[in-house]
Amino acid sequence: REDSEEKLNSQLCKYLNVASGQRFPMVYFHHEEKQTLNRRVDLSALPRESQFIGTNFHSIYDPIAVFEGKRLPAPCGSSLRQQEYVTGGGNRSGGIQRFKLGLHGAKHRIAAIVGYLQEGDASHWINTINGWIVGLNSESAEERWTAEEQLSHVLNDLERGLSVCSSQHRRSGDVVSETIDLQHLWIKM
């Protein structure tokens, strides 16, 4: 099993570039896209040519989609690190947390978290993650976690080892919209 989240993200980026060249040639993928301050999102999809997508103009430098990658379970460490898919507390290292705070995807209404399921299955992780969300206390006015932010299961393809969930979260910071819709794309490793 691969323990380096950075390596998993890099490998996924390379795979997506090959696959998109054949199936979706109008985009390419970039690893470690700069976001706000010193923050970087793990993957981004960018247009190969400057173009309008819907009513928004995107140059070849403007991501049309951003993705954060998280291992499940999180690497061994403190008990707070266990919940890193959702929150990293004061470290602001949580996957969902970074989107809520506008540290990732501030210019986007929709984004995605890629979950690398290294133990357990989608059913286990949706229950675990929803338990973490319900159990969070709103210590910070910035974050305000609510039960409505729980993940909804959309698709479970056991044959391919893929699952998709969705969630919606209120945001703070300098963001394009008050909420962000997150797609949770899980890959069984």
The pTM for the full model equals: 0.92
134-162 pLDDT, tens digit per residue, is: 998 665 667 789 999 999 998 999 999 99
Strand order in the sheet with 152-157: 27-34, 40-47, 65-72, 110-117, 179-188, 162-170, 152-157
